[in-house]
Every structure is written in structure tokens, then in C-alpha cells.
Amino acid sequence: METILRAWHSEDAETLAQYANNPNVAKNLTDIFPSPYSLEDAKAFIKKTGTHQPQQIFAIATEQEAIGAIGLHPQQDIFRKNAELGYWLAEPFWGKGIMSKAVMEMVRYGFSAFDIDRIFAKPFGSNIGSQKVLEKSGFLLEARFEKTIIKLGEYQDELVYAIRKKNLKNL
């Protein structure tokens, strides 16, 4: 399935709300991600995505619709040479290689658009799919912190995966 990264559009709101309103998606994200996810949440998110220059948050889209989101969040102060990668994909599209492709595209974009040397992601220890996506995309596991996350009333491990600009030529 052919997908692209593109800017979010106001007409994506209904599909965004439909796909994001899924407990199987929300269980792998921070509690900032609304669950349940409403049309109003979708509209507010889309509005927020247009406020960054250079662009930080993209839709993962087919020709027909947006099916997920991916974003880079540059850090500040002593962490200013780093950016955190975050993403999610609609459940019907899991296991098709879409997210690995999106992550690799976002990494290339991030290192060219921002003055950073490292991109990191912090999947939950229980999110094996996300760990595989990161490993397939050239990220290395830098750390595992045992039982530091509380999600849905259960403690989980926090993993830190990263890729460095100097290693990009190997991809």
C-alpha cells in the first residue's frame, strides 16, 4: 500500500477521530492522547499541527485518507540537539510495513530540517510492534527503565531507542 507523509487538512478531522478513537491505539500512547477521541479532539489536533515552522507533525496518508500521525518534537536547553519521535497508525493498517517506511522518511526529514544530532523514541516495554518498527528503521536500544511508566493502572518498562545523524548513511 502506497502512503505518504503530508500536512494535516481540516477535512481529515472525521477520519482522524474515527481511527484515533480506538483503545488499542491509545494504550500505547501517553495519557495526553485523548481516549475516547472525539471530533473536537481531532479538530484541535489538526489546528495545532499548522503552528510549527518547520513543520513537525504530519499525517500518514493513503491517496484516500489519513491513517495515522508522525511527529518530531525538538527538545530545548541542554537537550537541544535532540528530537523526540512520536507516531501512531490506525489498527487496520498494522503489520503492513507502513510505519517503518514513515519512520525512515521522518528521520531523513528531521535531520535535514532541524539542527539536531539525535532522534529518540520511547515505546512502552509491552509495545513489541513499535520496538520492531524502530529496530527495522535503524534505531538502537539505548536504555530500559524498569516499571517507570503507569498506563491503565499497570506499571510498564520505558525503553529509549535512538538514531544518530552520523549513522544515517548506513540506512
For the chain, give the longest Cα–Cα distance: 42
- Is the pTM for the entire model greater than 0.85? yes
CA 22 remoteness from chain centre:
16
Nearest to residue 11, comparing CAs of 61, 56, 86? 61
pLDDT of the chain, 171 residues: tens digit per residue? 789 999 999 999 999 999 999 999 999 999 999 999 999 999 999 999 988 889 999 999 999 999 999 999 999 999 999 999 999 999 999 999 999 999 999 999 999 999 999 999 999 999 999 999 999 999 999 999 999 999 999 999 999 999 999 987 655
- Opening angle at CA 34, ends 59 and 12, nearest 5: 30
List the CATH number of the domain containing 110: 3.40.630.30
Range of the domain at 100: 4-170
Q: How many residues appear in the chain?
A: 171
Q: Within the chain, how many helices (H) and strands (E) appear? A: 5, 7
Task: Give the amino acid at 78.
Answer: I
The total of structural domains in the chain comes to 1
Nearest to residue 14, comparing CAs of 49, 35, 40? 40
Question: Coil, helix or strand for 10?
Answer: helix
Q: How far apart are CA 38 and CA 20, in angstroms?
A: 8
